[in-house]
Amino acid sequence: MTLHVVVPEESEALPFTVEPGGAQVASKEVPERIHRILAGLLDGGAVLAPPGGTDETVRAERLAEAVHGKELLEHLRHGVPVGAESVLDDAFAAPGLEQETPVTRGVWPAALGAATAAVRAAGLTARRGEHAYALVRPPGHHAGPGWYGGYCFLNNAVIAARALQEDGASRVGILDVDYHLGNGTLACVQGDPTLPFASVHSSRPDDFPYAFEPGPGLFGAGSDPGPEGFLALVGDAVSHLRGQDVEALVVSVGYDVLAGDPHGSWSLAPEVFGPVAALVTEQRLPTVFVQEGGYGLPSLRGAARALALEASR
């Protein structure tokens, strides 16, 4: 099976984030992440998909409007005041959190480009019955119905799932294997039985998004689970989704579960993404992988290669 990789046009790095108290710190959401992940995917047998068309951009914007509220989208499009380069607005922070992610003038085209790549990946998967990987930045799983944060502006995973539904899959499972709970994804699909959600993540109270209620499909680890524990949790999450009779999968891939990631605390090796991908592809379901976190640059190529070797079998 061929793993098709969809990469949007390169956008600028998010220049900074804001710590409590107002101090600006350099963002780790940088273009080099995508270069290294792409190299690993191609090493593992994946192939680059050809460029898409403007119709996919139109579709992505329409689906974004179905997933997110109008006020949020208008803020992302036009929220930076004249004469300013960025804006930080707590009105669009996730419930209970302070806003730490600025909106800059380049955010909207970058976020829409990522969503468009997710839509293209979903279209390739639906038409060919194969797997696709939306290698996007900015990521998306912390973007909720009316908020953004955690480097995320539009929820690419949910947008991809909605595209798969439009293309014929009535129930699409979303599996999130990022170190951080996809609080935005959870909020976007809550109450919708056609988009069941399962997540493997850190549940330490000092890890973003800090506080959340346990619930069905949420497989949190209060400390480093190690490779066996992590894979057991992924297996439980996959089983949870299969129990919902899903017809396709969207996998939010976060390489921040790996040792040395500046936004994580676990000790997993890059090779763990081989068996993660095997657990997914053994389901024999059309699958769209969507890039989320992963900021430890030295580990990214190996992790992506391990995933692609399994997903390309």
Read off the DSSP letter of residue 264.
Answer: -
Query: Which two structure tokens, joined as six digits, stand for 98?
Result: 């302070």
DSSP-based three-state secondary structure for 270 = helix
Provide the H-helix boundaries in the chain. Answer: 31-43, 54-67, 70-78, 107-128, 156-166, 183-189, 226-242, 273-281, 297-311
Does residue 68 carry a catalytic annotation? no
Distances from the Cα of 290 to the Cα of 22, 132, 157, 225, angstroms: 31, 9, 6, 23
Query: Which two structure tokens, joined as six digits, stand for 100?
Result: 């730490």
Q: Give the Cα separation of 2 and 295 in Å (integer).
A: 26
Query: Which two structure tokens, joined as six digits, stand for 310?
Result: 């399994």
| H or E, element range at 250 | strand 248-253
Which of 75, 142, 180, 240 is catalytic? The answer is: 142
**The tokens 């194969």 sit on which residue?**
130
Q: Give the Cα separation of 127 and 275 in Å (integer).
A: 26
Which residue in 310, 304, 221 sits closest to 34, CA to CA? Answer: 304
Q: Give the Cα separation of 75 and 72 in Å (integer).
A: 5
Cβ distance 257 to 303 under 8 Å? no
Other CB atoms closer than 10 Å to residue 177's CB: what's the count? 29
CA 9 from chain centre, in angstroms, equals 17
Looking at the annotation, which residues are catalytic? Answer: 142
